[in-house]
Each structure stands twice: as structure tokens, then as C-alpha cells.
Structure 1
Amino acid sequence: MQTNEVEIKTIQTTSEEEFIMKPYIDWCFKELMRNPKTRTGFIAALLRLPPEQIGRTTILENELSKRTEEEKQGVLDVRVLLESGTQLDIEMQVLYIEYWDDRSLFYLSKMFSSQLQKGESYDKLQKCIQVGVLNFTYFKKDNFCHRRVRFYDEATGDLYSEKLELQILELPKIPKEYHHPDGIIAWMKFFRGGNKKEMEEMAKGNAYLESAYEDLMEMSQDEKKRLAYEARERALRDQLALQHQTEKIFQQIAEVQGELDKAKDTLAETKGQLSETQGQLSKTQGQLSKTQGQLSKT
């Protein structure tokens, strides 16, 4: 089982005025995405476009339709429709999850196929992008913090279709030396969080991040929203503790299984030695019987 590297901590502050929510908590992230300006700035960074080219953004129903009762339900964190017709599913994943690559493909394909109703033409299909903001390291063989996955023809190297795309943002991999106020990594650093002063510094020089910071400050001072945030934070800590406990149990089971396998090997080796000893004993008994026969004859 994968060891969960995520830590969720409640920072102890000396003053209530210093409290600020952490954007990587999924409840807080979804609240931030309700602001059209914040959505526009983040999506512009994802698509590498000037924010003014994004146009209007609309939050859609987050439950994807099912064809049958048996079909698995798809529930998205933030589903956004752009003025161009492009749809984005933006997921903030706080805790490690197995098979994230398969899960993101499932959401992407569900979102893409759910666009058409019975009898509609395929040319109505619009581009769909699944964005995973991960507060853990999933791809451990490299240090790329931002991946853009598209579908290419293996034979020609040409882009097969521009209508399907995956983006994966791994927050723990953010390079420490990056200080530019624009671009996707600036947003990743903001989502990763920090103390009040650090968050304020991150937002400087970027009007869209400044808007997100103002929302974050307002939410942090709202008693009802803070209670909802802290409830979600506690639930995540409990879930993380349960995961750690489960991983510990699996590790103990693996250790016991290793000891059992070792004992089986030892038993098999002992049986082999016993069989060899029995063979030698049988051979000795045969020689003894032969000698006794010769003595009787004599």
C-alpha cells in the first residue's frame, strides 16, 4: 500500500487575527472557485492565455449523468463551462488516492460523453479538460510539478484530438526558487498555503491572486464559514489517521506473512534433510541385511 505523504496541520496562532484558511483544503478551494475573477485567473494560467481571452465562466452541476442505475456516478469538485464551450473539471485532492490516473480518465471521459443527448451529432462535442490539483506526490520518478497530457498519434506524432486533455498539478513538487507572480506555479504556491504574511506576499503583483487572497481573508473571518472549514479539516485529519492506521496494519500483516514464508522455507529445508537422512538410513539397513545374510551363510 502507498504511504500517504500528506500532512494536514492546524497552525496554532497567538491571535485570531492571524488565522487564515488553507486553500488546499477542498472545502476552501471550492469556495474560492465561486468567485468569477478567481476562476478566470486560474483557468487563464492553466490554458496559458491572457485572462481577457477567457470570457465568461459558468459553474455547472457537478453530478454527471448516468445511463443506468448500475453505472458509477461521477461527482466533480468544480465543473466550469467557458464561453468558448470548453468544459473543465477542477479537482482538489487533499489525501493520497490510489489509481488517480485511472480516476481522472474516468471523470474526463464521463464529462466528454455526457455532452450529447440521444440523436445529437458528434460535431457538437466540445473540448473537455480534467484538472487534478494534488496535495501529494503521485508520480515519484521525476520532479515535474505540472503535467499537460494530450492524445497523440504514436505513428506520426501528430495531435490526434485537441478535445481531450488532462492537467496534473502536484503541489509538493513546486520549485522553491520560483518567484514569478504570474503563471500556473504562482497559483500552485498560493494553493499550497502558508501563514497570513506569506499568502499576502504570494498574491502581490497578480490582480487575480489578490482577489483570491481577499476572498480567503473574508472567509477566514466569517464565523459560519470558519466552522464549516474546521469541520472539513477535522474530517480530513481523521481520514488521514485512519489511512495511517490501515497502512500500519497492512505493514504488520506483510511482516507476519514474511515470517510465515520464512518458516515454510525452513520447514521445507528440514523435510528435505529428513528425507535425505531416511534415505541414508534405508541404505544402511540394506547393507546391514546383506551382511547378516552373508554371516548366516557362513
Structure 2
Amino acid sequence: MQTNEVEIKTIQTTSEEEFIMKPYIDWCFKELMRNPKTRTGFIAALLRLPPEQIGRTTILENELSKRTEEEKQGVLDVRVLLESGTQLDIEMQVLYIEYWDDRSLFYLSKMFSSQLQKGESYDKLQKCIQVGVLNFTYFKKDNFCHRRVRFYDEATGDLYSEKLELQILELPKIPKEYHHPDGIIAWMKFFRGGNKKEMEEMAKGNAYLESAYEDLMEMSQDEKKRLAYEARERALRDQLALQHQTEKIFQQIAEVQGELDKAKDTLAETKGQLSETQGQLSKTQGQLSKTQGQLSETQGQLSETRGQLSKTQGQLSETRGQLSETQEQLSETQKQLAEAHAQNDVAHDQGRKDAIIDLYQKGLLNLEQAASSYGMSTEDFQKLIF
């Protein structure tokens, strides 16, 4: 709202001598198009024809007919009929409009179809051109300030029909360096506006633009027209302010919606993670139950093993007792065996000695042999004998 107040104040303080209307204000544009010479010059630039080939131009009713009360009605800024039968819808659009491409197609289609009355032949249809002069940038992907759209066969590349055409002029895209006085860019620069001196320079060298400039000067000095112009300009500023406010509200709504969507995504992600965690928990619980079962089984086996171990230890103790008893018996037997061996050795030695003495007495051994075998000296052996 503060911006609008500044703009209004600027208009009020502009001197009468320096004030000049801006042609991009749609009210001013319509007034300029009322002049047949201005109309002819602009249409000639659009159609790329010498102005003298345009012929007579007639402004038609700018409200298109509709078949039913429910059908959307189209209102055109300037609707012109050429002497050739061609019709043009020339629209100056100051503020940004969403879906301009669809809107222009709607108006073009309405204009084309409204030519025929019931029962008339299709061969009476004449060429229709929808011209949009935009004081804003709609096609943001390129720098083309003027585009001409026609209908072509995609398979062959041939023009399907010359009777339907769209032209779009985007004023903010006008190239800075352009000095040709007769082309469409010159008209676009004029419509874009400027101060009185700049507008006068733009019109030089082009009789049709000079005529438009003269009309513009005359309108700017006409008090009633100036009041109508300023009322329309204020209405556009209010509409622009409302549009900006609406856009800001929609942007805030979009931001809130974005945060809400983000929160929803986060919630959905959290729910997914929770579901995954619950799944893992269920799996872990299953594994824990299985492990507990295995542990119980292992504990049972361990108890059984311990019982078997106790039984084995008892058997081992019993075996050890039997082993001790056997070892004692073995020791006694070995002792008895040793005594028997000792007795046997004594008896054997005594028998051997008796045999030596017997052999000596029989004269089979001499004294030395008998004493040696007996393990004594001859003197001791003789003492033993005698």
C-alpha cells in the first residue's frame, strides 16, 4: 500500500507540461487504436505488410457472443475487421495473468467460431489473429520479445491452416539496441512508454508512430481523458497491490504447506522406521525365545551330564577302591613271589653247592675247580669238606 501512495504522489506532482500518458495502460492503448492511421500502421507491422496494403480497418464490438448463459464470455480490448475479411483481437495486458496461453487460445477460438451463423458454409470463415501485447514476461525460458504462432502439420512440417494465428509481444524483453523505425519492435518500444522527449524520439521517422504520438499528446492535455486515464491507472495499481498481497498470502500458504508436507514426510519416515524397529524387535524377541528354548534344553542336557558325571565319579571311586585292593593284593603276591624266589635261590644255591661237593668227592672235580665253583679258596673249601 505504501508503494501505491508513492506512485500516486509522483503523478500528482508531475507538471502539466511534462505529463504524458503511458500507452501500456490499456485505457490509453484503446484510445490510440481508435485512430485509423495508428491502427493501420500497427497492424501493418504485425502482418509484415506495407501499410497501403492493409486497406480499411473497422473496430468491431469487443464482446464476443455466447451460445448459452453458462458459457464463459470473452471480452476483447480492440477487435478489428480488415477490408480483406481478416479479424484481429488486439489486447493490451498490463498485469500478469496465469495461463495466458490457454486464455489467448480461448479468445482466438471464440472469435473464429463466432463468424458463422446457423446453416452457413465453412468456406465463409476468414483468418483470425489474436494479438497479446504483454507488459510482463510470460515465456521465461527465452529472450524472444515477439513470437508468431501458427498451426503446422507435425509429420510434414507444412502449414495446416493459415486462418488461425497467435502473436505475442512481451514488452519487457525488448532489446536495448534497436533503431529500425518501421518494424514491430519500434511499436513495442513506443507502447512501453517513457518521458515526453523519449516518446517524441521514438516516433521520428515513422508517420504512423508520429500520428500515435500526436494523439497521445492531445489525450494527455485533455482534462476529462486524463482523469479517466488516472482512474484506470490507480485501479491497476490497486489491482497490482492486491495481486502482490494475494501472491504473498499464497506464498505463505505454500510455505506452510511445504512445512506441513515436510512434517508429513518426516512423520511417514518416522513411522516407517518405527515399523522397521518393531519388526526387528519382533525378530529379536523370536530369536530370544528360540535362544531361551535352546538354553533350557542345554541346561537339561547339562543336568543330565552332571548326573552321568556323578554316576561316573561314583564308579570311578569304586574302581579306585577296587584298584587299591588289587594293588594291595598284588603287593602281597609280589612279596610272596619274592620270598619264593629267595627260597628258590637259596635252595638252588645249596643244591649247586651240594652238587659241587659231590662231584669233588667223586673225583670229577679237583680241589681248585671245586673251590672256584663253590666260590671259596681251596683252604676254606677243604675246611668245609673236612
Q: Contact 2:60–2:79 at 8 Å: present in 1 too? A: yes
Structure 1 279/236 Cα, relative in aligned 2: closer, same or farther at 3 Å?
same
Q: Contact 1:127–1:162 at 8 Å: present in 2 too? A: yes
Q: Contact 2:200–2:213 at 8 Å: present in 1 too? A: yes
Q: CA shift at 1:267, angstroms? A: 3.2
In 2, Cα distance between equivalents of 1:110 and 1:20:
36
2:96 is paired with a residue whose SS is coil
Structure 1 32/287 Cα, relative in aligned 2: closer, same or farther at 3 Å?
closer
In 1, Cα distance between equivalents of 2:86 and 2:287:
91
Structure 1 281/13 Cα, relative in aligned 2: closer, same or farther at 3 Å?
same
Q: Contact 2:219–2:226 at 8 Å: present in 1 too? A: yes
Range 259-268 or range 193-202, more displaced: 259-268
Structure 1 14/151 Cα, relative in aligned 2: closer, same or farther at 3 Å?
closer
Q: Contact 1:6–1:96 at 8 Å: present in 2 too? A: no
Stretches of structure 2 that go unaligned for 5 or more consecutive residues are: 291-381
Identical pairs, percent: 99
Q: Contact 1:145–1:174 at 8 Å: present in 2 too? A: yes
In 1, Cα distance between equivalents of 2:25 and 2:266:
51
Structure 1 58/295 Cα, relative in aligned 2: closer, same or farther at 3 Å?
farther
Q: CA RMSD in A?
A: 11.9
Higher helix share: 2
1:16 is paired with a residue whose SS is coil
Stretches of structure 1 that go unaligned for 5 or more consecutive residues are: none
Residue in 1 that maps onto 2:281: 281
1:138 is paired with a residue whose SS is coil
Structure 1 119/179 Cα, relative in aligned 2: closer, same or farther at 3 Å?
same
Aligned residues: 295
Q: CA shift at 1:176, angstroms? A: 0.4
2:58 is paired with a residue whose SS is strand
Range 133-142 or range 112-121, more displaced: 112-121
Q: CA shift at 1:295, angstroms? A: 93
Residue in 2 that maps onto 1:295: 383
In 1, Cα distance between equivalents of 2:151 and 2:265:
49
Q: Contact 1:42–1:184 at 8 Å: present in 2 too? A: yes
Q: Contact 2:152–2:158 at 8 Å: present in 1 too? A: yes
Structure 1 4/232 Cα, relative in aligned 2: closer, same or farther at 3 Å?
closer
In 2, Cα distance between equivalents of 1:9 and 1:168:
33
What do residues 168-210 of structure 1 show as CA deviations (whole Å, max 9, x unaligned)?
Answer: 1000000000111111000000000001100000000000000
In 1, Cα distance between equivalents of 2:85 and 2:141:
35
Structure 1 295/6 Cα, relative in aligned 2: closer, same or farther at 3 Å?
farther
**Which protein, 1 or 2, shows the higher relative CO under an 8 Å CA cutoff with sep ≥ 6?**
1
In 2, Cα distance between equivalents of 1:296 and 1:86:
178
Q: CA shift at 1:14, angstroms? A: 4.8
What do residues 23-77 of structure 1 show as CA deviations (whole Å, max 9, x unaligned)?
Answer: 0000000000000000000000001111111111110111111112221111111
1:144 is paired with a residue whose SS is coil
Q: Contact 1:133–1:169 at 8 Å: present in 2 too? A: yes
1:212 is paired with a residue whose SS is helix
Structure 1 3/243 Cα, relative in aligned 2: closer, same or farther at 3 Å?
farther
What do residues 66-90 of structure 1 show as CA deviations (whole Å, max 9, x unaligned)?
Answer: 1122211111110001111111100
2:168 is paired with a residue whose SS is strand
In 1, Cα distance between equivalents of 2:5 and 2:139:
13
Q: Contact 1:146–1:169 at 8 Å: present in 2 too? A: yes
Q: Contact 2:4–2:238 at 8 Å: present in 1 too? A: no
Which of 1 and 2 has greater Rg? Answer: 2
Q: CA shift at 1:126, angstroms? A: 0.9
In 1, Cα distance between equivalents of 2:234 and 2:12:
14
Range 242-251 or range 38-47, more displaced: 242-251
In 1, Cα distance between equivalents of 2:216 and 2:54:
23
Range 176-185 or range 10-19, more displaced: 10-19
In 1, Cα distance between equivalents of 2:32 and 2:95:
19
Higher strand share: 1
2:2 is paired with a residue whose SS is coil
Q: CA shift at 1:276, angstroms? A: 5.8
Q: CA shift at 1:289, angstroms? A: 7.8
In 1, Cα distance between equivalents of 2:385 and 2:70:
87
In 2, Cα distance between equivalents of 1:96 and 1:296:
160
In 2, Cα distance between equivalents of 1:113 and 1:134:
25
1:118 is paired with a residue whose SS is coil
Q: CA shift at 1:272, angstroms? A: 4.8
2:233 is paired with a residue whose SS is helix
What do residues 123-156 of structure 1 show as CA deviations (whole Å, max 9, x unaligned)?
Answer: 1111111100000111111111111111111111
1:9 is paired with a residue whose SS is helix
Structure 1 289/187 Cα, relative in aligned 2: closer, same or farther at 3 Å?
closer
Structure 1 88/295 Cα, relative in aligned 2: closer, same or farther at 3 Å?
farther
